[in-house]
Amino acid sequence: MFIGFGGQFAPSRVEIAAPREGMLVRDSKAPKGPVLGFSRLAWRTFVDSVRQGWESPAP
């Protein structure tokens, strides 16, 4: 089961599912489109980075 996340006024949302093995993410506008899969460790690392205000390095 996917759960949607996005701002109240955001035109786009992501949907996230948490099967036993990891996390799945997809675009809510394309429910039959591609799904990204992450291990639980990779997902936790990503979420922790966002919470800490991580920014990607400049290209």
pLDDT for res 36: 92
Q: Domain locations in the chain? A: 3-51
Question: Residue 47's pLDDT band (boundaries 50, 70, 90)?
Answer: confident
What is the pTM (predicted TM-score) of this model?
0.65
Q: Is the dihedral of CA 18, 22, 28, 32 positive or negative?
A: negative
> Residue 34: what pLDDT?
92
pLDDT digits (tens, 9 = 90+) for 4-46: 766 666 666 788 888 888 899 988 888 888 999 999 999 888 8
pLDDT value at position 27? 86
- Distance from C-alpha of 58 to C-alpha of 47, rounded to nearest angstrom: 20
